[in-house]
Amino acid sequence: MTPEIKQRIETLIKENKILVFMKGTKLMPQCGFSNNVVQILNTLGVSYETFDILNDYEIRQGIKEYSNWPTIPQVYIDGEFIGGSDVMIELYQNGQLQEKVEVALAS
């Protein structure tokens, strides 16, 4: 990953309290896993942004290296890498996701 790509990723993460690197957009997810994450965040009723990795090959590859996580989607809350679809489902079900989101949005 080039320093420029790393900087782009860091800027995106820093500028958004909740950011999802995903296939498609929150209005039109392009895979089931991305859709799972969108549905969870929509259920929580929080404001979040998405980045469509299908439109940017460099970010698509770079984010996997940046997070050391091989799959998409990837969720960042308040600059912290949370995980993908499975992790989001687990955190949502045990109540920890709501807590993380509330803390992030309050800061």
Domain count, the chain: 1
Model pLDDT for residues 48-96, shown as the tens digit of each residue: 999 999 999 999 999 999 999 999 999 999 999 999 999 999 999 999 9
Question: Average pLDDT, stretch 13-23?
Answer: 97
**Domain membership of residue 7 as a residue range:** 3-106
CATH code (residue 17):
3.40.30.10
Model pLDDT for residues 84-103, shown as the tens digit of each residue: 999 999 999 999 999 999 99
| Helices marked H in 25-106 | 32-44, 57-67, 85-93, 96-106
* pLDDT grade for 1, boundaries at 50, 70 and 90: confident
User: Closest Cα partner for 97 from 70, 75, 79, 72?
Assistant: 75
